Amino acid sequence: MTVRREPATPVLTVEDLSITFTQRGAAPTRAVDRVSFEIGAGEVVGLVGESGCGKSVTALAVMGLLADRNVEIGGRIAYAGTELLGLPRKRMRDLRGADLAMIFQDPLSALNPVVPVGRQITEMLSRHRGLRGRDADAEAVQLLGRVGIPDPERRLKEYPHQMSGGMRQRAMIAMAVSCGPRLLIADEPTTALDVTIQAQVLELLKDLVETEGTALLMITHDLGVVAGLCDRVNVLYAGRVVEAAPRHELFGNPVHPYTTGLLRSIPRMDGDRGVPLNPIRGSVNDLVAWADGCAFAPRCDRYELECLAGTPAVTELPGVDHEHRCVNPPGTPAVVR
Amino acid sequence: GGVGDDGGDDQTFIFGVPNLPRSLDPIFANDGETFRVTRQVFDTLLDHESGGNEMVGGLAETWDVSDDGLTWTFNLRDGVEFHDGETLDAAAVCANFDRWMNLPEPFHNTTVAYYYNNLFGSFTDGESSTGNDFLVGCSADGLTVTIQLKETSANFPGAFSMATTAILSPGSLEQIDDGAFTGIDDGLPDYTQDVTGILAGTGPFQLDSWNHAQDELTLTRFDDYWGDPAGVSRIVFKAYDDETALKQALEASEIHGYDLVAPAHVAELEAAGFQVPTRGVFNILYLAFQQETDEQLADLEVRQALAAAVDRQNIVDSLLPEGGVVATQFMPDTVAGHSDNVTTYSYDPDAARPVLEGRTMEFCWPTNVSRPYMPSPRDIFESIKADLEAVGVTVQEKPMEWANYIPAAASGECPLYILGWTGDFNEGYNFLGTWFANHTDEFGMNRDDIFAVMQRAAREGDPDARAALLAEASEMIMDELPGLPISSSPPSIVFSAEVNPPNVSPLTQEKFDEVSFR
Amino acid sequence: MSLLEVRDLKVHFPIRKGILLRRIVGYVQAVDGVSLSVDRGQTYGLVGESGCGKSTVGRAILRLNDITAGEVRLDGTDLAGLSTGAMRRQRHRLQMIFQDPMGSLDPRQNIESILGEGLAAHGMGGSRRERRKTLIDALDAVGLSANALARYPHEFSGGQRQRIGIARALVLQPDVIICDEPVSALDVSVQAQVLNLLEEIQEQTGVAYVVIAHDLAVVRHISDTVGVMYLGHIMEEAAADDLYAEPLHPYTKALMSAIPVPDPEVEAQRERILLTGDLPSPANPPAGCRFSSRCPWAQSTRCHDEIPALIEVRPGHRVACHWVEEIESGEIRPHEVEAEMVPASEIGVEIPTVEPPAVP
Amino acid sequence: MVRYVVTRLLQLIPTLFGLSVLLFIWVRALPGGPDTALLPENATAADRERLRQDLGLNDPIWVQYAAFLARLAQLDFGHTLRGRAVSTELAERFPATIELAFVAMLIAVVVGIPLGYLAARNRGRFLDVSAVGGSLIGICTPVFFLAFILKEIFAVRLGWLPSSSRLTPGTSYTDITGLRVVDGIITGEFHVAWDAVVHLILPALALASIPLAVVTRMTRASVMETLGEDFVRTAESKGLTARVIQFRHVLRNAMLPVVTAIGLLTGALLAGAVLTESVFAFGGIGSFLFQATQSRDYAAIMGTVLLIATVFVVVNLVVDLLYTVLDPRVTVDR
Amino acid sequence: MNLPGTATKAAKIDRLAELSVSSSDVRGRSLWLEAFSRLRRSPMAIVGAVIVSAFVIVAVAAPLLAPHDPTAQLWRGDVFPNRSIFVGPRAENPLGLDHAGRDLLSRMLVGARQSLMVGVVATLIGLSVGALIGGVSGAAAGMGRRLGRAVDSVLMRFVDMLLSIPALLIAISVAALLGPSLTTLMIAVGAAQVPIFARLLRGSMLAQSRSDFVTASIALGVRRPKVVVSHVLPNSLGPVLVQGTLTLATAIIEAAALSYLGLGSPDISRPEWGGMLADAQRFLGSAPHMALFPAVAIIITALGFTLLGEAMREALDPKLKK
Ligand SMILES: Nc1ncnc2c1ncn2[C@@H]1O[C@H](COP(=O)(O)OP(=O)(O)OP(=O)(O)O)[C@@H](O)[C@H]1O
Ligand SMILES: Nc1ncnc2c1ncn2[C@@H]1O[C@H](COP(=O)(O)OP(=O)(O)OP(=O)(O)O)[C@@H](O)[C@H]1O
Ligand SMILES: [Mg+2]
Ligand SMILES: [Mg+2]
């Protein structure tokens, strides 16, 4: 197993990112807790986890899109060496769209319903590339064509609701890549789509990364998508990375009980049908505060009292660039409950 | 704000009114707001003295009546010109009488020509629905007009001063096609609703324009007026829906005056430097006792007790404009026919209580109206109600909208109710005759002896004899007590400090030509 | 005869236009001739992409939609022909589990009344105490304790709510349960719990399921027989294992190849058939084979003018394709398909009608 | 589109027909009658009876209604009790109401939208609290009282603005459209236009109080909701300038519900005109209607209410059409 | 942290129970409870609730609080409205006297009761009639079938017709129809609200009848009428309740407008704030206290109801949750 890591500065470095929501009248909630990862050019890094584990918040923090009020962000986010946290608003605006771009989950709500799709693309071209009028239109047509939208000239004048889901997502992608960003964040780009369309969109993203060398942060809860696309995978649980490894390493040798649990609980197309699934107990809401121990402990088969002895430290598996946060990983004999 | 930007003699006098005229041709009208305007434009044969209620000459310089009271001779002023340039002569006057007598069928009832039907009622083809028929005809001789009557009536000579009998120019009459009028349901002729150049009178002002969209009617000075020319060059009558708006418009100097000032505003306006001249009283407010609707009221003792229970002096003092008096009978004391010997009823709750205690009575009052004789019916009602309750009467109040109130009162639906009347001209019969000439559902009074006296008065041509009859009737009425006269209140009118106000008339017949700017 | 037999079911929704007269200008052919049958203790899985008519089939079986044509036979009785009242009396035999576990539970009723409503409606369950016992048993069967009865839906987690939905269906001891996307709203970890539960219940009670889902893996896992739908038609139907082992219809092939597997090794080798374009609108489906507009194997003959019948090509394996054998034998090879532009008006997107806001 | 408009207008016919039946019965069921307005207090019972007969009020109601319809077929709304054609009265007075309602709506929109927008942007801050508080107080103050206070302050005490009328009484002007401001500008009589504007301010302010409050709060809520929409976040992620985001993405979408509200507010404005016009002696159809109700002027009531209902429906049709322009998702042919 | 050497299963579970977040916390509370808790945190709601409860308390306890008989013209000799002689606030009468020499404080207190009654009864009338029409319409539409749709469209045409007449006009004509009285006032104001409630309820019923739990009930074999009564209706009442609260404010203000137009309650023994204000208007120049107190009272009370209603609307609106 080779670890593909560029020696040069990664496009994105996230170090010890913590995000806390402080709402008036409620206890502060830490949505993301000391998350670190890097993405190099042409690399695809996955962020997987169930709903509410902090994936989107992380992405928004990178984009500088979290509201200023009621949010505390700690740690470090660097884009090609530029510190993003604390960057003047104006500078951040210049970066957004031009260097950092994002694709959102639901393309219908993410597109302005009352502005033609073409306009939503050209406004970006004119903002970052100074293209106007006919030039911008021509460029937009070209972009739409590139993401595989048939008859792009006509589509330019259409509104999002006049397009199908897959088409909208393509338009979103066309918009995101229009200014040649070096980092693309895709937040569940296919969750709202049908599988056949999902396949088309994933193919498109893959193609982009390969031809443009764009760094892609892929956020999804679908392990299948991760397995097909990501070079490196970070598994999140309750705001922390519980396991991070290159793709083959992670699927081949999952360590954290959460990761293994996920893998065992989903029916697979190629699996054995007769065997009952092996679900994780409880639900995401049954969790322990990280400060008190492993948040996953209540749902864990390998739970030991030891698991509650404070935040589990990061353990690195030697030689394979594989980290995890399990106190009681498989290999050590599990205590029968 | 600021009005009258022209300065000096050329200023526009703006007067706020609750309504604009119903018709510019006075024959169609019966309301004070119409006559307020038409009086400035048209003259009548007779008139009232400025600021008083004495009958004086109008277009007729002098007049005379035959001994039998049936032949009236009017000697017209010389050199009177109509607004359209025609000259006034007896023929012109008779042309008007001819017009009235020849009015076609749709006019033969009070729906249209209310006053003509009531005062003269004579038509050459057909009868008036009122049954009146007083007029024989009019003959002209130079400046002498002779009007022949069939019968005498208490309405003469007052009728000759009524605004409805104003004299229009013969030229106007030629252009008016009364035959085209088909009935009130089809609307009034255009010339009555807009200034179309048809109507010409002899008054100090002539019609200028009527802006319906802005509820403004404009008159301009007639420079060839036979009397002293008007003090202002233009009058604008502007309609307002409520009195508070009028008051604010006056205070903001947008208008120069308005009539029927709420008593509550009089002192306030005076204090603010406005002129609020006091009128003589010429109206009567009463509390009616319908004897047929409520059996209790058929009992004279109860009616007397009610009269003793109401503190009329308090109403006059606290709710009516200054200058009001407690009424002793159904007419103001300035009117001929007023008797000093009527039975009076003084406030004596202790005497009333034994009779009234424990009784329940229905009491109607109108909610959304203000009349010269009852500026705020609600306050008056409240006051009377408090008095009645003080002597143990349970008052079942029946408030009604004005549109509903009058029909209800007229049809005898209401046992107790408050209502009143402002005289048309200085004639006692114009008051008493309104209610007590025969049996009506308004009062439910069945006193044929009173009705007989009233009938005699109605036909009595001699003013003094008539006054005596009316005084007699008044005394009988106050013994019978079909209702309790409450007060005669002077309706207030207000003018801004920049104008010299006209003499105020108890008949609310102010002559606006007397107005001038200071 | 099977327990539940659906024959040539058609559900067409009229499309109305105009303000005053609301003329019918066309029909959405949501379901256009679907036949399927389920036996006691068996599970029939229905897969297909969004808008292909899966839910409509499910709802039509329950007579929650008007049926345009066709038969729905339960134990021989044609439900489609019953009067409303008679149908109502049959309802306890057919139950439904919904996708959105929260939305399908009345937030203002406690679990006892939610579960007991069906019993009351059918006069079942006897006395109050007996009825309560039935409810507790049902809750027990889905792994919830009796103290849930007094609680309200919002007090439960998503997985638990779905269990309540299942319990509600169970109390009536139905013969058939239609599960419309029973797990797609759940977290992946919870999804497995619910799938296991459904299987357990089937083992214990012998109830038959019609499971509707867009996730082929889920359907395959739980079903005995799987039907693949496309634009209101069933394209292929086979035993679950057979279907995966040997998909015959081009659409099934494409569908299966599009599903990613959480295994990089498999992913790396998986053969992909990438379809182009989008699902056409059921209001204006392609003539002939519904899939012809996107089919990489489509031929110039037959495909565009003749609707293929669902024919049994292998034992228990039925396919609606004119060229199955030729494709299997490699005689016909896939080719590039130009993505067609679907006119805006034909996308099955609901155009939001904008109601005026309440006047303050 | 044309079809839609025509159909919607045709739809108006049954609505107006139903409304006219309803009104006809209703109005005639009002106690009392027109006699109080037409006859003096001392008129006799016979006089009153005669009047009812002349007005056709003694006929069975369906006969009266048939007569009404027969006239209506010739676009004749009958005559007011004062003897003028209702249609003439409405034609003369309606421009006043239009002018007043339009200016009031203008105030509501021109002040309300920016205010609501700023309030939403500054949620919870002083501006927001005072805008919301102020608009609530605006809603909660009875219009006639507000009018009175406005007049007392600005007309009586300060003397800055007139308290009544559409123009200084006696002003001469050329009448073209009946809209004084417009006429003044068209004919070059700028002093008339200015005079009309000055006279419009207070009544329009009083009338605007409720729409202004509604528009402000509606805009605020709508902007707040829009700010939370995904596409705004998308716009941010595109690095667009704040101005483009605010105008193209936030405001345009936020305006949609406000536009509908504005259409519906027309009704409130026309009703508000009843009070406002009376209080300000403005002379539109509002005070006309009020007087007609008071004097039981049946023809006038019918005509005015039907006019108001028509206007309301037409304005909302226009709003619906406008909506299709603003929101491409909505087509007229629903 | 040092762990005890002997870790038992019980200890494990206890520790877990202690640490794991109580699930009911995360899963949220009932719609109402949640809405209520949001209400409690909203300053708008708090201010509104304080005003409203103060108003209700005063209204209920008015006869006990009123220092004088509100109808008695106790100080008849002191007040001469026509001479502009009034009695303002003084020790005996903290708010002064009205134009008939009655204690204004007592009248204000009793007026609170009348105003509350006008508001509540008018709202109830509007709500119940409107809800009846809307409910029947919504139920009919929700049931589907030709007849249902026909009933629905007939009712809705009627409501649309009413909606095209401005509310105040409806109120004016009702008031004129029934003659002036407190009852009239309540009916008139209520009638004007009927179409609004009808549309509102119908709209939310239609939305609710498309929801899954309604489908579920039908699938269970529950009869349609029962489905409507036990599921559709209860879940559609939220917006109606909010509108009801807002209508309370509107009613009090509209009552004032009707009084001003002379169509209010003429009942002097039971004064109502709107009527008092309309009545006092003409004395504003010389007796501002007479108008001031009712005006302020109306504004504040209406404000209270509006604040509460708006806060409720926000609390119930899932879109504005965050
Ligand atoms: N604005 C906010 N205020 C408070 N808490 C927030 C906010 N946004 C997100 N959170 C919380 O942060 C946590 C992480 O949310 P996030 O949206 O990143 O989840 P996710 O992993 O993207 O889930 P999903 O798969 O549902 O999109 C959640 O618990 C959420 O409740
Ligand atoms: N009541 C209805 N009226 C009109 N069209 C309808 C109606 N219900 C469904 N449709 C249409 O019928 C088609 C099939 O819908 P259906 O809900 O059965 O799809 P589905 O396969 O369940 O999709 P999904 O996976 O999105 O749930 C769609 O195009 C839909 O728009
Ligand atoms: Mg997310
Ligand atoms: Mg579905």
**Which chains share 3+ C-beta pairs under 8 angstroms with C?**
A, D, E
With beta carbons less than 8 A apart as the criterion, state whether B376 and B370 touch: yes
User: How does strand B257-261 pair with strand B12-17?
Assistant: parallel
pLDDT in tens, B278-310: 888 888 999 999 999 888 999 999 999 999 999
> Residue C358, CB half-sphere, CA atoms under 13 Å: how many?
22
**Which chains share 3+ C-beta pairs under 8 angstroms with D?**
A, B, C, E
Residues A198, A174 share a domain? no
Residues A189, A66 share a domain? yes
Interface contact D295-B216, CB threshold 8 A? no
- Residues near ligand 2 with C-beta < 6 Å? C 13, 28, 30, 48, 50-56, 214, 282, 348
Comparing CB atoms, the residue among D239, D253, D328 nearest residue A127 is: D239
Q: What is the pLDDT of residue C276?
A: 81
Comparing CB atoms, the residue among C187, C217, C278 nearest residue A167 is: C278
User: D333 in a domain, yes or no?
Assistant: no
Atom 11 in ligand 2: which residue has the minimum CA distance? C30
User: C97 in a domain, yes or no?
Assistant: yes
- d(CA C56, ligand 4 centre) in Å: 7
Comparing CB atoms, the residue among B321, B367, B379 nearest residue E100 is: B379
Comparing CB atoms, the residue among A288, A289, A305 nearest residue E7 is: A305
Confirm or reject: Cβ of A298 under 6 Å from ligand 1: no
Print the SS3 string covering C226-241. Answer: EEEEECCEEEEEEEHH
Residues D142, D99 share a domain? yes
Is the CB of residue D8 less than 8 Å away from at least one CB of chain E? no
Q: What is the pLDDT of residue D272?
A: 79
Number of domains in chain C: 2
> Residue A221, CB half-sphere, CA atoms under 13 Å: how many?
21
Atom 17 in ligand 2: which residue has the minimum CA distance? C55
* pLDDT surpasses 70 at B2: no
What is the distance between the alpha carbons of residues C30 and B308, in angstroms, rounded to a whole number? Answer: 89
Q: Domain residues for E231? A: 31-61+103-320
Residue E269 token pair: 């023994």
Is the CB of residue D218 less than 8 Å away from at least one CB of chain C? yes
Print the SS3 string covering B94-140. Answer: HHHHHHHHCCCHHHCCCCCCHHHHHHCCCCCCCCCCCCCCCEEEEEE
pLDDT band at E186 (very low <50, low <70, confident <90, very high): confident
What is the distance between the alpha carbons of residues B93 and B115, in angstroms, rounded to a whole number? Answer: 18
Q: Domain residues for C87? A: 40-64+82-223
- d(CA C50, ligand 4 centre) in Å: 7
What is the distance between the alpha carbons of residues A277 and B460, in angstroms, rounded to a whole number? Answer: 120
Atom 26 in ligand 2: which residue has the minimum CA distance? C50
Residue B203 vs residues B49, B99, C14: alpha-carbon distances, Å: 16, 20, 78
Comparing C-alpha atoms, which of B345, B349, B387, B374 is closest to residue B478? B345
pLDDT band at C239 (very low <50, low <70, confident <90, very high): very high
Measured from the Cβ of residue A255, the count of other Cβ atoms closer than 10 Å reads 22
Partners of B411 on chain D (C-beta within 8 Å) are: 45
Is D56 exposed, middle or buried (CB count within 10 Å of its CB: 0-12, 13-18, 19+)? middle
User: A275 in a domain, yes or no?
Assistant: no
pLDDT in tens, D3-33: 777 877 877 788 788 888 877 887 777 777 7
The answer to whether the complex's ipTM is over 0.85 is: no
- Residue B395 dihedral angles phi and psi, to the nearest 5°: -95, 120
E273-304 per-residue burial string, b: 16 or more CB within 10 A, e: under 16? bbbbbbbbbbbbbbbbbbbebbbebbbebbbb
Fill in the DSSP letter of residue A25: T
Residue D56 token pair: 């056709």
- Closest CA in chain A for residue C351: A161
Atom of ligand 1 nearest to the CA of A66: 1
* pLDDT surpasses 50 at D93: yes
* pLDDT surpasses 70 at B9: no
What is the distance between the alpha carbons of residues D205 and E270, in angstroms, rounded to a whole number? Answer: 33
Residues D26, D102 share a domain? no
Shortest distance between the Cα of A281 and any Cα of chain E, in A, equals 14
Give residue E100's Cα distance to chain centre.
Answer: 32
Best interface-test mutation with D: which of E169, E199, E259, E320 has the largest number of D CBs within 10 A? E169
Residues A142, A69 share a domain? no
- d(CA A276, ligand 2 centre) in Å: 32
Is the CB of residue D249 less than 8 Å away from at least one CB of chain A? yes
Comparing C-alpha atoms, which of C86, C50, C69 is closest to residue C8? C69
Best interface-test mutation with A: which of E2, E6, E8, E21 has the largest number of A CBs within 10 A? E21
Residue ending a domain, among C173, C192, C223, is C223
Q: What is the mean pLDDT of each run of 10 residues along chain A (337 residues)?
A: 55 92 78 90 91 89 84 90 88 90 87 89 90 89 86 86 83 88 90 84 88 91 89 91 92 90 85 80 77 85 82 85 86 50
Is the CB of residue C262 less than 8 Å away from at least one CB of chain D? no
What is the distance between the alpha carbons of residues B80 and B45, in angstroms, rounded to a whole number? Answer: 12
Give residue B252's Cα distance to chain centre.
Answer: 30
User: A277 in a domain, yes or no?
Assistant: no
The residue behind tokens 């139907």 is: C237
Domain of C113: which CATH number? 3.40.50.300
pTM of the complete model: 0.83
List the 8-67 stretch of D: residues with Cβ below 8 A of B.
Answer: 30-48, 50-51, 54-56
User: C228 in a domain, yes or no?
Assistant: no
Is the CB of residue C189 less than 8 Å away from at least one CB of chain A? yes
Partners of E302 on chain D (C-beta within 8 Å) are: 139-140
Residues D34, D121 share a domain? no
Q: Domain residues for D10? A: 2-73
Interface contact D169-B213, CB threshold 8 A? no
Q: What does pLDDT average to over chain B?
A: 88
Is the CB of residue D12 less than 8 Å away from at least one CB of chain E? no
Is the CB of residue D74 less than 8 Å away from at least one CB of chain A? no
Is the CB of residue E29 less than 8 Å away from at least one CB of chain C? yes
User: C31 in a domain, yes or no?
Assistant: no
Residues D98, D36 share a domain? no
Q: What is the pLDDT of residue D242?
A: 86
Residues A88, A2 share a domain? yes
Domain of A14: which CATH number? 3.40.50.300
Is the CB of residue C241 less than 8 Å away from at least one CB of chain A? yes
Reduced to 3 states, what is the DSSP secondary structure of residue C276? coil
Shortest distance between the Cα of E9 and any Cα of chain A, in A, equals 7
Window from A8-12, C347-351, E186-190 with minimum mean pLDDT: C347-351
Q: What is the pLDDT of residue D334?
A: 41
Please report, rounded to a whole number, the percentage of residues in chain C having pLDDT higher than 90.
30
User: E24 in a domain, yes or no?
Assistant: no
Atom 3 in ligand 1: which residue has the minimum CA distance? A21
Residue ending a domain, among A250, A266, A282, is A266
Interval B310-320 mean pLDDT? 88
Comparing CB atoms, the residue among B263, B314, B401 nearest residue E179 is: B401
Residues A86, A53 share a domain? yes
Partners of D51 on chain B (C-beta within 8 Å) are: 110-111, 184
Give residue A237's Cα distance to chain centre.
Answer: 13
User: C236 in a domain, yes or no?
Assistant: no
User: E66 in a domain, yes or no?
Assistant: no
Q: What does pLDDT average to over chain C?
A: 85
Residues A74, A12 share a domain? yes
Residues C193, C293 share a domain? no
Q: What is the pLDDT of residue A105?
A: 83
User: D118 in a domain, yes or no?
Assistant: yes
Residues C118, C178 share a domain? yes
pLDDT in tens, E122-152: 889 988 898 888 888 887 876 666 777 778 8
Residues A142, A76 share a domain? no
Residues D107, D246 share a domain? yes
Residues A66, A91 share a domain? yes
Q: What does pLDDT average to over chain D?
A: 85
Q: What is the pLDDT of residue B8?
A: 47
What is the distance between the alpha carbons of residues D66 and D56, in angstroms, rounded to a whole number? Answer: 12
* pLDDT surpasses 70 at B273: yes
> Residue E64, CB half-sphere, CA atoms under 13 Å: how many?
5
Number of domains in chain E: 1
Atom 27 in ligand 1: which residue has the minimum CA distance? A51
pLDDT band at E96 (very low <50, low <70, confident <90, very high): confident
Q: What is the pLDDT of residue B167?
A: 93
Domain of E252: which CATH number? 1.10.3720.10
Residue D296 token pair: 């039981």
Q: Is the peptide bond before D328 cis (omega within 30 degrees of 0)?
A: no
Fill in the DSSP letter of residue B186: G
| B–A touching, 3+ CB–CB pairs within 8 Å | no
Ligand closest to C29 (CA) is 2
Shortest distance between the Cα of D321 and any Cα of chain A, in A, equals 15
Q: What does pLDDT average to over chain E?
A: 78
pLDDT band at E10 (very low <50, low <70, confident <90, very high): low
Partners of E278 on chain D (C-beta within 8 Å) are: 144
Measured from the Cβ of residue A276, the count of other Cβ atoms closer than 10 Å reads 11
Residues C212, C144 share a domain? yes
Partners of A300 on chain C (C-beta within 8 Å) are: none
Number of domains in chain D: 2
The residue behind tokens 């009927």 is: E194
Confirm or reject: Cβ of A52 under 6 Å from ligand 1: yes
Partners of C258 on chain A (C-beta within 8 Å) are: 195-196, 198-199
pLDDT band at B10 (very low <50, low <70, confident <90, very high): low
Is the CB of residue D10 less than 8 Å away from at least one CB of chain C? yes
Residues D136, D68 share a domain? no
Residues C273, C212 share a domain? no
Interval C141-170 mean pLDDT? 86
Residue A198 token pair: 């999902």
What is the distance between the alpha carbons of residues A15 and A38, in angstroms, rounded to a whole number? Answer: 8
Question: Which stretch of DSSP H or E encloses residue D292?
Answer: helix D285-294
Measured from the Cβ of residue C311, the count of other Cβ atoms closer than 10 Å reads 12
Q: Domain residues for A157? A: 108-180
What is the distance between the alpha carbons of residues D73 and D70, in angstroms, rounded to a whole number? Answer: 5
User: E90 in a domain, yes or no?
Assistant: no
Partners of D278 on chain E (C-beta within 8 Å) are: 261
Residues A54, A32 share a domain? yes
Partners of C350 on chain D (C-beta within 8 Å) are: none
Crossing angle between the packed helical segments D252-280 and E167-178, to the nearest 10 degrees: 40
